[in-house]
Amino acid sequence: MNIRISIIILVMASLMGCNKEQIPVGLLLQDELNTTDTTYMIATIPSAQTKKIFVEEATGVRCANCPSGADILRNLKLNYPDKIISASIYSPFLNDFQPPAQYDFNNSDDSTLVFFLNSSDPSKPQATIDRLETGGTSKYFFDKTFWNSTIAGIISKTTPLNIDLSAIPTGNTDEFLITSKITFTDTITADLGISIYLIEDHVIDYQDSMANEVLNYEHNHILRKIITPISGSSFLGTTTTKEKGRVFEKFTTFTLPAMAIIGTSPRGIVNKSNLKLICFVHKTGLSKEVIHVEEIDL
């Protein structure tokens, strides 16, 4: 038997034993070689988690206004403890690498993501907020002047689903088995997808600012990799109504990307101990609204 499949089966058995849930009905295999899914019903429904808001912040190291945007987001997190999770998107605009910067934060996922959400690389700092539509020329990216009011308007929203996220080493170098468990605590009718981001905190490097150039600026929530497809991994697509008590689990085997030298610029993870995983469930199709999001240390 394939070693990875054996690990997945063992993890599933452990999870079911601990939670005393019903045996999953049918293993649903997808085309992706590193992914296995399962869905089943449970009789005892857990309490609903508190909904968290997901912010994707478009930022740049050569953006003099971007530190002020980071300050706004930092203060929002202080005002609403454990209610906001964010990823910093260093797409190409205002992110050209040159000394005295040590690291190049660009990667192909950042660029692909902003064009998936927007017709162009947005002005910075701007941010998506639960991927709600802005009603303006930028469909999903809000100017920083609207972050406070937009988040205040949705901070009390609830979520019909719980996300339980875990990652365990497989024994292979830098490889992890990521388990994303979605439990529906209420009924929802929508086409849904799961997205998983790898981010890194506490990278000290160059940053332009309105006051001066900062050589030891702390960059946080840096998007390093989108592990799922950019548009998310659709699930329960044949089930229009996701009923209360439905559980969906995704098992994904993932290897950390290595640091690469592109020309003269180093790109990639600086310190593996500062990595986190973000998992969020969102609508697919015309609406991309985020239903809920969770984050763990890797």
Average pLDDT, the chain: 88
Q: For residues 251 and 5, what is the distance between their CA atoms, to the nearest angstrom? A: 10
Please report which confidence band the pLDDT of residue 13 belongs to, taking 50, 70 and 90 as the band edges: very low
The answer to whether position 207 is within a domain reads yes
The answer to whether position 28 is within a domain reads no
Residues above pLDDT 70, as percent of the chain:
88
Q: According to the model, what pLDDT value does residue 5 have?
A: 41
The answer to whether position 32 is within a domain reads no
The answer to whether position 229 is within a domain reads yes
> Which residue has 């899914």 as its token pair?
37
Q: According to the model, what pLDDT value does residue 32 have?
A: 52
Q: According to the model, what pLDDT value does residue 1 have?
A: 43
Q: Is the pLDDT of residue 192 over 60?
A: yes
Please report which confidence band the pLDDT of residue 262 belongs to, taking 50, 70 and 90 as the band edges: low
Q: For residues 129 and 42, what is the distance between their CA atoms, to the nearest angstrom? A: 32
Beta strands in 42-125 (DSSP E): 53-58, 84-89
Domain span at 233: 53-167+195-239+270-297
The answer to whether residues 257 and 225 touch, using CB atoms and an 8 Å cutoff, is yes
Q: For residues 162 and 45, what is the distance between their CA atoms, to the nearest angstrom? A: 10
- The model's pLDDT over 221-260, given as tens digits with 9 standing for 90+, comes to 999 999 999 999 999 988 889 999 999 999 999 999 888 7
> Which residue has 């809920």 as its token pair?
292
What number of other Cβ atoms are within 10 A of residue 162's Cβ?
Answer: 19
The answer to whether residues 273 and 267 touch, using CB atoms and an 8 Å cutoff, is no
The answer to whether position 210 is within a domain reads yes
Encoded amino acid at 92, one letter = P
Q: Is the pLDDT of residue 9 over 70?
A: no
Q: According to the model, what pLDDT value does residue 24 have?
A: 36
DSSP assigned state of 80: S
> Average pLDDT, stretch 57-64?
96
Helix (H) or strand (E) holding 213: none
The answer to whether position 255 is within a domain reads no
- The model's pLDDT over 98-140, given as tens digits with 9 standing for 90+, comes to 889 999 998 899 999 999 999 899 999 999 999 999 988 889 9
The answer to whether position 45 is within a domain reads no
The answer to whether residues 53 and 151 touch, using CB atoms and an 8 Å cutoff, is yes
The answer to whether position 132 is within a domain reads yes
Q: For residues 159 and 240, what is the distance between their CA atoms, to the nearest angstrom? A: 18
Q: For residues 31 and 14, what is the distance between their CA atoms, to the nearest angstrom? A: 25
Least Cα distance to 13 among 5, 67, 208 occurs for 5
Domain count, the chain: 1
Please report which confidence band the pLDDT of residue 267 belongs to, taking 50, 70 and 90 as the band edges: confident
- For helices 66-79 and 147-154, the axis angle rounded to 10 degrees is 20
